Amino acid sequence: MQNQTNIKVWSERWRLGALESQELIRIGLVSVMIGLLFMLFHMLGNTVENVNSRSAFTWMVARWGDTISFGADYSHGYFIPFVSLAVLWYRRKEIFSVETWVDWRGLVVVIGALFMHWLGAKMQQTRLSLMSLVLLTWGIPFYLFGWRIAKNLIFPCSYLIFCIPLNFLDVIAFPLRIFSTKIAVGMLNGFGIEAVRSGTAILIPSMPTGMDVADPCSGLRSLLAMTALTAVYAYFTQKTFIKKWILFLSSIPLAVIGNIARIVTIAFVSEALGPKPALGLYHDYSGYILFAAAITAMVIFGGLLNMGFKEMLKKWKFVR
């Protein structure tokens, strides 16, 4: 509580312009650091010339906006920094209330991150540079304020990794497509619809030319978005570290199940109303419905994880 009071006093003094010279110098030095970080990553951050910029940020945003091939899978990148900031704001009292000290282990992290950035620039691997920026956003407070602050910053800082376009993940797109197609065909046959798989296409009576499960329908996009969403939901709702991870990892089957449900329901709509509305209106908008269903499933599963099963069992025995 003492620290919280100190923060309030400090913010009042800041508002009244009554800070000590030592504090003003520290603010000045932190501003210089922010300026240098800006220079490192915006002016010297990217050695790949195809975006005509030395900025790692410009490179990253260009990847988010890329609608060709796999770029569109990362369009959720725009939201990630805001989620991180919101987490910081939500936990601000906790963060400001912990004891602080200079921790030399943080300096090791900073040196490692700066070397990683240099390596990324030399190798023309801007992703590596962006990883180093994530590490720096954690390592600098770790060095200046100690482990307790760093511990509180692990989640909001590591969450920024969802911003970084890891295009090599596209290697799982095709296996995902095949898997989803096989399961969907099995389910359709189970429902009495005569479905046949041809590669990644599904042939059904109403669509004899086939409904192709193309790359954007592989489920990779919903998988990436679901993992990003579940990470923050699990962080806020689950009490233990293990439960947070269980809920986070559950996002993978949830996204895949959502994708399979979408393929199956497209086939249903085609059988009921014909291929045109199925591949048109329903195809275009069903993604939102099933994403909402996947989120509902995530919330339900999160609720189940939080239930005190032992106590419920005791009560149940007592009533009997």
Give me the residues that bind other proteins (CB under 8 A), please: 21-22, 25-26, 29-30, 32-33, 36-37, 39-40, 44, 47-50, 68-70, 102, 107, 110-111, 114, 117-119, 121-125, 140, 143-144, 167, 170-171, 174, 198-200, 209-210, 212, 214-215
Please say which residue, 211 or 256, places its beta carbon nearer to other proteins.
211
Please say which residue, 145 or 291, places its beta carbon nearer to other proteins.
145
Specify burial of residue 271 (Cβ count, 10 A radius: 0-12, 13-18, 19+).
buried
Give the C-alpha separation, 167 to 183, whole Å: 26
Please say which residue, 113 or 254, places its beta carbon nearer to other proteins.
113
Q: Residue 117 CB, nearest distance to other proteins (Å)?
A: 7
The gap from C-alpha 142 to its chain's centroid, in whole angstroms, comes to 23
| Selection from 226, 288, 230, 296 nearest residue 256 by Cα | 226
Please say which residue, 41 or 301, places its beta carbon nearer to other proteins.
41
Please say which residue, 177 or 244, places its beta carbon nearer to other proteins.
177
Radius of gyration of the chain (CA): 25
| Selection from 225, 232, 252, 258 nearest residue 75 by Cα | 225
Contact between 237 and 306 (Cβ < 8 Å):
yes
Query: In this structure, what are the phi and psi dihedrals at residue 42, rounded to the nearest 5 degrees?
Result: -95, -35
Q: Residue 251 CB, nearest distance to other proteins (Å)?
A: 25
Q: Residue 106 CB, nearest distance to other proteins (Å)?
A: 9
Q: Residue 102 CB, nearest distance to other proteins (Å)?
A: 5
Give the C-alpha separation, 247 to 301, whole Å: 7
Contacts of residue 239, defined as CB under 8 A and 6 or more positions apart, other chains included, come to: 306
Please say which residue, 199 or 303, places its beta carbon nearer to other proteins.
199
Q: Residue 201 CB, nearest distance to other proteins (Å)?
A: 8
Give the C-alpha separation, 176 to 132, whole Å: 30
Q: Residue 179 CB, nearest distance to other proteins (Å)?
A: 14
